[in-house]
Structure 1
């Protein structure tokens, strides 16, 4: 009986860690990559979808914002 509760608790903790890591790390990094590669070529529907995903995964995006520089290659030194 105690072994079932322990295994069940470990399963729940593992599931929370997996979903939290997915929500805070992997999906936001995928969004950053997608936005960086497709920014100038997105259509209306794709941009709407990306904006809604940014709203949904905002906490993870904020975690990586200080470390990523996604400025467009533009004029260089002016």
Structure 2
């Protein structure tokens, strides 16, 4: 899967889950500060990422994901394993 396709899928998840206008979502969007996501919101988001991309994301790795770009790069790295 290409980086742009992964970004679009993650942006769609964010748009749906956090009720954010899709056109305002950029690579630098920060999950915790820009979305005002609490820990439950973030866990649900990570679970959705796992389902969407058929990936295992450890709690330790999830804590390091702050922006969409970091999430995209993480998914890319997981797919190449």
Q: Shorter-chain TM-score: what band?
A: under 0.3
Higher relative contact order by CA 8 Å / sep ≥ 6: 1 or 2?
A: 2
* Structure number with larger C-alpha Rg: 1
Q: Normalising to structure 1: TM-score of the pair?
A: 0.26
